[in-house]
Amino acid sequence: MPSERQAFGKKSEAAAMDFLRRHGYAIIECNYRNTLGEIDIIARDRDVIVFVEVKAKKRKGSIHPKYSITLKKQKKLSAVALCYLKAKRHTRSSARFDVVTVLSAQDNPEIELIRNAFELAYP
């Protein structure tokens, strides 16, 4: 049985995917994992492959979730993304990193999309 935190994370990711679809993204994969880590959502926005990190908080007032993506996290996401592009033979595709923040994933969460949130960070 998933913990309350895991259930909140799944609900937040589902809300983020719905939001992305409404904004024209096509979802390719969710929770993509390799030996280096995980990317929450991989999507396509027109001809660009987008690696999406979902950050969620239950309450407002604490530090906004967009500030919790450290350089270390950016490097990890970058490494996973590069492996994905190579494995799927998308090495010539345009790609970017977006962040979706979800505040209070209740019935009416506040969702924000940050396009091109950070550049590729080499490990």
Place of tokens 């009416």: 108
Q: Is the dihedral of CA 23, 105, 69, 10 positive or negative?
A: negative
Out of 3.40.1350.10, 3.20.20.140, 3.20.20.70, 3.30.420.60, which CATH number does the structure's domain 4-118 have? 3.40.1350.10
Place of tokens 């969702």: 111
Structure token pair of residue 59: 């309450």
Determine the Cα–Cα distance for residues 66 and 38; give it in Å rounded to an integer.
Answer: 18
Domain ranges for the chain: 4-118
Answer yes or no: are the C-beta atoms of 105 and 11 closer than 8 Å: yes
pLDDT tens digit string along 34-83?
999 999 999 999 999 999 999 988 776 667 777 788 999 999 999 999 99
Position 103 scores a pLDDT of 86
pLDDT tens digit string along 77-100?
999 999 999 999 987 889 999 999
Q: Distance from CA of residue 67 to its chain's centroid?
A: 14
pTM of the model: 0.90
Answer yes or no: are the C-beta atoms of 113 and 67 closer than 8 Å: no
Answer yes or no: are the C-beta atoms of 58 and 8 closer than 8 Å: yes
